Amino acid sequence: MSTVGQLSFSPRLLLGPGPCDVHPRILSVMAMPVLGHLDPEFLTILNETQELLRGAFQTSNRLTFPISGTGMAGMETCMVNLLERGDRAVVCVAGFFGERMAEVASRTGAEVTRLEQPWGQVFDPQRIREALQKVRPKLLAIVQAETSTGAWQPLEELGALCREFDALLVVDAVTALGCIPLAIDEWKIDAIYSCTQKGLSCPPGLAPVSFGPRAAEAMGKRKTKVQSWYLDLSILQRYWGEDRLYHHTTPITMMYALREGLRLLHEEGLRPRWDRHLRNHKALAAGLVALGLSYTAAEGHRLPQLNVVRIPDGVDDGVVRKRLLDEFNIEIGSGLGSFKGKAWRIGLMGYNSRPAVVLQFLAALEQCLQAQGVKGAPGRGVAAANDFYSSQK
């Protein structure tokens, strides 16, 4: 007989780099009965989800749907379908996820040129132009929201630049969708992937992707089969197209979640959603600065949904994060790669981008910092955030 008891755990507030807390409305749809993946009523749900996703991505791309898997499955889908042995790719690397893109791209057998920038910085279009001119790649890959550094890469000019050099633009929007502006058609993005567990406030499990006409044309001209059967869009799109041909058993419950997450986004409106993230970020930033913390990314390139700040000298990373978790039930992220032990990653994504969360977190962090010897007027973090909110009224 098993002695394993009923599932039970502490009620966490997820303020790391993702997942974030799941919106209560999403949790409730996830308790609905499972339909068959070819049930006509489920197929309507798929159509609705695709339509909502096109709205969220601001695209009319036919090939817009979620891949079964997390953000990494989205990344692999883009790389394995668009690249084959002998192709050339330029991958922009300024953090952990740029590194990942370069690694995943190189596994296709393509010749990958890494365009590097110090962690925390963004790429200037002129540098990208020079790389495109020199390498003449089939694609350029770049991360819009680099989760390891909190840097916000502008994309507006890159689509036109890529077209000038006949290259495809592939974007990682895993930490971007539902938090900051993103417009696939206007910005001429050819392929993109995201996730469900961040700006959309769902659990992890699906990777929304979208491919434009230029990407579809490039896939049609492949000389070799895509090495992954599961992620081969030429087969997969037959389930997502008119035929509705069985490919694999869709994660039904996750599809309900994504549909509800997208409904929440559309009810709020894209612009109000982005503004909400910016407003709560500014309040948090005011509080963090008042507590003596500084951002790793330059002003103007900081992600509102992911605040990456330096750990003050003399403060123990592990002790603070453990106390936040044990005593306050708050999770924040540690630094990744070269930021390990040197930075914290504080996420205010989707459902968690709220004044109540900002104020609760600043109060808890202040206690932890004080215990580590950081001195200052009591309540200064919360006061600075409150001042910001009051100034906005």
Ligand X SMILES: Cc1ncc(COP(=O)(O)O)c(C=O)c1O
Orientation of helix 270-290 relative to helix 380-391, angle to 10°: 140
Between 78 and 365, whose beta carbon lies closer to ligand X? 78
Tokens of 29: 């749809």
Minimum gap (Å) between residue 99 Cβ and ligand X: 10
Encoding tokens for residue 386? Answer: 């409150």
At a CB cut-off of 8 Å and minimum separation 6, what does 100 contact? Answer: 72, 75
Measured from the CB atom, the residue of 17 and 199 that comes closer to ligand X is 17
- Residue 179 vs 374, nearer CB to ligand X: 179
Residue ranges binding ligand X (CB under 6 A): 17-18, 70-72, 75, 97, 143, 147, 172, 174-175, 195, 204
Which residues are 211's β-sheet partners?
A: 63, 191
Q: What would the DSSP string read from start to end of 272-310?
A: HHHHHHHHHHHHHHHHHHHTT--BSSPTTSB-TTEEEEE
Q: Looking at beta carbons only, is 93 or 283 nearer to ligand X?
A: 93
User: Is residue 303 within 8 Å of 180, Cβ to Cβ?
Assistant: yes
What's the CA gap between 232 and 371, in Å, rounded? 53
Beta carbon nearer to ligand X, 348 or 384: 348
Distances (CA, A) of 60 to 52, 56, 162, 191, 373: 11, 11, 20, 13, 54
Q: What is the 3-state secondary structure (H, E, C) of 168-218?
A: EEEEECCCCCCCCCCCHHHHCCCEEECCCCCCCCCCCCEEEEEECHHHHHH
Minimum CB distance to ligand X, residue 308 (Å): 12
Closer residue to ligand X in complex, CB, 46/171 = 171
